[in-house]
Amino acid sequence: MKSQNTIFATIDWLTVALYFALVIFGWLNIYAVTYAYDDASFFSLQNRSAMQATWILISIVAILVIFVLDGRVYSLLAYPIYGFALLMLLSVLVFGTTINNSKSWIVIGPVSLQPAEFAKTATVLALAKFLSGFNIKISRRKDILTTFIIIFLPVLMIMAQPDFGSTIVYGILLLVLYREGLPGWVLILIISIAALFLFTLVLAPITLLILLVSIALIAFGLINRKYSIFTLSLIALGIIIAFFALIDYFNVLELTKYQVLALSLIIISVIGIILTFAKKIKGVYIILLTLILSIGFTYSVDFVFHNIMKKHQRHRVNVMLGLESDPWGYEYNVNQSKIAIGSGGFAGKGFMQGTQTKFKFVPEQSTDFIFCTVGEEWGFLGSFGLIMAYVGLLIRLIFLSERQRSKFSRIYGYGVTSILFFHFAVNIGMSIVLFPVVGIPLPFLSYGGSSLLAFTILLWIFIKLDSSRKGYML
């Protein structure tokens, strides 16, 4: 027998408290951004905070619905929900409205929704359902394939919109697979290739070359665990960096990047041969091979990008990566964001006192760049507090996931954790200029009905699963 009382007793109040704290804090910041002048009726933009308040109420209704439903429906209906989400993604491509060059919105009367936001929840449900199935092993090739298909179907459709931010979120589900037993090296390999690909487009070829050579040399040092070799590697590294820096800075030889490549490969090979002749050095060939393969990959991506892709395609990729961007210019935006956050100082300027946020120096201030307002008005203390709140929530979610008796709930919990973590890392990372600009919202804080509602549903399904974990085993 379960009653309302048991639900209240079993609900994880810490998560609930963190959720509401974040939502309310987010609303305050949206209010601060959109509140422009004293004469509110004249320079009014109040409707954004009012809109957000409405969405908060809608989210609460959604929470109630989630709690009224039996916890087992999510497992039972995981595939239908997933199918429905795919259908929505498909229909947005057909009937959708294009906003900011991306056909990702369904407009119904006064409400516009982004199906991609909700597709995340559906995908995690389907993933949990599949992986918790009888006799499914993530290390088995067939099951890995099915898993990847579940993840890739929505990715493909979101790519077509195109919405780069929402696409890459799905990559983080690798963490879930990792927790469920995906071999660690697969994870590292995929991450390395992805990182290499991204860096190829973002960094200058020479910088990347230095980076790769550095990694290789450090790897030499680490594998051999011998002081002399480690020193040798570091000296070689220093010489190479200095050499490239000179070439790059003075450009005395007027080399093309491919000549630099050839030159560096010669140098690397020479170093490799020297190291081979030195005694008892381990891993020379494997590291050298990896290095050459990486460089080969880098340059082929670079070649395809610059010589085979057409100008407009390149431009699109660059815009996606934030290299070429909106009319205001990439560097300018990023710099504005940095200034806004930096100007907050230790204690912040105080609620609604931010000057940078008020005048919209930073674009998308209430949506993707909401963290700038936090940084400016609440300072280091506030930002740190916010980060701690997120860390608390994420660690708590891991804890909750681990205590699930049903595999379905645990996988779902890890899915929620990973997605929230990814949004948290990428969004704040781009606001403080550690990441290129990728337009994805900060969960629970950013302005936007779809994202608030979708994150609410994502999280609260898990809270519901957790609260009823003792009632049944799935």
Partner 1 sequence: MEQFTDRKYIIGGLILFVAFIFTIRLFSLQVIESSYKLSAESNTRRMEILYPARGLIFDRNNLTIANNQPSYDLRIAPYQLEEFDTLGLCTILGIDIQSLRDGIKKTIEYPEERRNAFIKQISPATFGKLKEKQYKFPGFYFSTRTLRKYPREIASHLLGYVGEVDSSNIKLDSYYELGDYFGVSGVELTYEQYLRGEKGRRYKQIDVHGREKGSYRDGRFDSDAEAGKDIYITIDANLQEYGELLMRNFKGSIVAIEPSTGEILTLVSAPSYNPALLVGRSRQVNYEILAKDTLKPLFNYAIQALYPPGSTFKPVNALVALNEGVIVNSTSFLCFRGFHAKGISVGCHEHKTPLDLPHAIQNSCNAYFCNVFIRIIDDRDFKSNEEAYANWRNHLVSMGFSDPLGIDLPYEKGGFIPKPVYFDRYYGKGRWKALTILSMAIGQGEVLTTPLQIANLAATIANRGYFYTPHVIKKISGEESIDKKYTTKHQVSVDSTYFNVVVKGMELAVHEAGGTSQIARSTKFIVCGKTGTAENPHGEDHSVFMAFAPKDNPKIAIAVYVEHGKWGATYAAPIASLMIEKYLTDSIAPERKWLETRMLESKLKYY
Q: How far is CA 161 from CA 292, 368, 406, in A?
A: 36, 19, 36
Q: Which is nearer to partner 1, 165 or 344 (CB)?
A: 344
- Least Å from the CB of residue 96 to partner 1: 15
Residue placing its CB nearer to partner 1 in the complex, 195 or 239: 195
User: Applying CB under 8 A, does 345 fall inside the site for partner 1?
Assistant: yes
Q: Are 466 and 132 in contact (CB under 8 A)?
A: no
Q: Is 220 in the site for partner 1 (CB under 8 A)?
A: no
Closest distance to partner 1 from the beta carbon of 167 (Å): 20
Give the pair of three-digit tokens for residue 31.
């209010």
Answer yes or no whether residue 446 interacts with partner 1 by CB under 8 A.
no
Buried b (16+ CB within 10 A) or exposed e, 242-260: eebeebeeeeeeeeeeeeb
Q: What is the C-alpha to C-alpha distance for residues 165 and 438, in angstroms, rounded to an integer?
A: 5
| Binding of partner 1 by 38 (CB under 8 A) | no
Q: Check binding of 428 to partner 1 (CB under 8 A).
A: yes
Does position 469 interact with partner 1 (CB under 8 A)? The reply is: no
> Which range binds partner 1 by CB under 8 A, 192-200, 297-305, 382-390, 464-472?
382-390
- Which residue in 129, 179, 423, 469 binds partner 1 (CB under 8 A)? 179
Spell out, one character per residue from 129 to 168, where the chain touches partner 1: x when CB under 8 A holds, - when not. Answer: ----------------------------------------
User: 139 to each of 78, 121, 180, how far by Cα in Å?
Assistant: 23, 24, 9
* Member of 65, 402, 472, 473 binding partner 1 (CB under 8 A): 402
Q: Residue 165: CA atoms inside 13 Å, Cβ hemisphere, count?
A: 24
183 binds partner 1 (CB under 8 A): no
Distance in Å, CB of 315 to partner 1, minimum: 6
Stretch that binds partner 1, among 156-164, 248-256, 260-268, 356-364 (CB under 8 A): 356-364
Residue 97 within binding range of partner 1, rule CB under 8 A: no
Rule CB under 8 A: say whether 36 interacts with partner 1: yes
Figure out which of the listed residues 4, 108, 307, 327 binds partner 1, where binding follows CB under 8 A: 327
Q: Is 109 in the site for partner 1 (CB under 8 A)?
A: no
Phi first, then psi: what are they for 96, rounded to 5°? -65, 165
- Least Å from the CB of residue 397 to partner 1: 10
Q: Least distance to partner 1 from the beta carbon of 42, Å?
A: 7
Q: Are 81 and 123 in contact (CB under 8 A)?
A: no
Under the binding rule (CB under 8 A), the answer on residue 363 touching partner 1 is yes
The reply on whether position 339 binds partner 1 by CB under 8 A is yes
User: Phi and psi (nearest 5°) for 100?
Assistant: 55, 45
Examine residue 407 and tell whether it contacts partner 1 (CB under 8 A).
yes
**Residues 115, 165, 379, 449: which binds partner 1 (CB under 8 A)?**
379
Q: Which long-range contacts (CB under 8 A, 24 or more apart) does 95-104 make?
A: 96/161, 102/161, 102/162, 102/163, 103/161, 104/158, 104/161, 104/163, 104/166
The token pair at 153 is: 């179907």
131 neighbors 407 (Cβ within 8 angstroms): yes
Kindly state whether residue 173 participates in binding partner 1, applying the rule CB under 8 A.
no
Interface with partner 1 by CB under 8 A: which range of 190-198, 202-210, 248-256, 337-345?
Answer: 337-345
Strand-pair partners of 102:
99
CB neighbours (10 Å) of residue 425?
15
Among 394, 430, 442, 463, binds partner 1 (CB under 8 A): 394
Instruction: Count the residues of the shown chain that bind partner 1, applying the rule CB under 8 A.
Output: 59
Q: Judged by CB, which is closer to partner 1: 264, or 365?
A: 365
Residue 180 CB, shortest distance to partner 1, in Å, is 7
Least Å distance, CB 152 to partner 1, is 22
Which residue stretch of 50-58, 274-282, 425-433, 439-447 sits at the interface with partner 1 (rule: CB under 8 A)?
425-433
Residue 211 in contact with partner 1, rule: CB under 8 A:
no
Judged by CB under 8 A, the residue of 24, 329, 405, 473 near partner 1 is: 329
434: contact with partner 1 by CB under 8 A: yes
Would you count residue 21 as binding partner 1 (CB under 8 A)? no
Residues in the site for partner 1, rule: CB under 8 A? 36, 42-43, 45, 101, 175, 178-181, 312, 315, 319, 326-329, 331-332, 338-346, 355-356, 358-361, 363, 375, 379-380, 383-384, 387-388, 390-391, 394-395, 398, 401-402, 407, 414, 417, 421, 424-425, 428-429, 432, 434
